Amino acid sequence: MATVLAVFLGATAPLTAGTRITEVTVNQARGLIQQRARDAQFVILDVRTPEEFAQGHLSGAVNVDLMAPDFEGRLGALDKAKTYLVYCRTGNRSAKAIQIMGRLGFRSVYHMFEGIVGWQKKGFPLSTSS
């Protein structure tokens, strides 16, 4: 129960030495995006398939498909010092992705655990442009 409560409160916990993950709700994620709209050190990472991404994604998101055979390589090529907001459809794939990010040594990761489904339930806008 404490773990579930911590997740809903936006708990921060280390994944591996030097990696911090913060679980955030859709509302918290939207606030982060608005705060950091012009911050080159903040990256929105969508780990769904390219087809899902094309149907609608968070504005400014970068798509790296968790199911692609080269996922770890593509992820490893990203700047580990930047801050990432990671999401998928419902939070399952993104949970796997943040574990890999921790293993690869990313420093700061926010996990939008409700996924884009939660984003849409709130009525927040999606983008279809690349």
The catalytic residue positions are 88
Question: What's the half-sphere exposure (Cβ side, CA atoms, 13 Å) at 78?
Answer: 27
Q: 126 to each of 39, 44, 54, 61, 94, how far by Cα in Å?
A: 20, 13, 10, 10, 18
**Count of other CB atoms within 10 angstroms of residue 57:** 22
